[in-house]
Amino acid sequence: MIKYISMLLALCIVFLVMQTSMLARFGPFGFTANLIAFVVFFTIITGKRRSPYGLTAALFGGILLDFFSELPFGVWTGGFFSVWVFISLILKSHVQIPFFEKQ
């Protein structure tokens, strides 16, 4: 588990660097792909219900985005945490997502 979480954190940092340098430079019309959001959503959706991976990705990814955003600190973290709560605790309790979830 520690190995997986470490990889997740490293991936978030690499994506953050790419997102704030290379992708920010070449984004069409000023738009930049939010790679960290993609990692967070993917981890939450594919993870098991109450899995620590989704929560870790949401909190760490949110904090990283908060560092490199002009929004008040905590907006991204709070947003991702809300998404995790919604998908992982509410949606997966009531909706079967057989393609992603293997419980």
Partner 1 sequence: MNLISQEVRSVMYNLLSPMQEAVWKGSGGMQDFAIGLFHAGNLRSENEKLRDENLQLVQELVQLRVIAKENAELRSVLDAGLREEFSLLLAPIVGKLIGEDTILVRLPEGKEVKEGTAVITAGRVAVGKIVQVAGRIARVQLLSHDQVKTDVEIQKNSAQGVSSEHILTGVAKGQGRGALFLDLVPRDEMLEPDSILVTSNLGDVFPSSFLVGQIENIQKDDAAPFQQATIRSFFDLQDTQAVFLMTPL
Binding site for partner 1 (CB under 8 A): 13, 16-22, 24-26, 29-32, 34, 65-70, 72-74
What whole-number distance in Å separates Cα of residue 20 and Cα of residue 25?
8
CB 29 to partner 1: min, Å: 6
66 close to 75: Cβ distance less than 8 angstroms: yes
CB of 50 to partner 1, least distance (A): 29
Closer CB to partner 1, residue 7 or residue 33?
A: 33
Is the CB of 6 or the CB of 69 nearer to partner 1? 69
Angstrom distance (rounded) from CA 82 to CA 92: 14
Which are the contacts of 13, defined by CB distance < 8 A and separation ≥ 6?
Answer: 64
Residue number with CB closer to partner 1 (13 or 97): 13
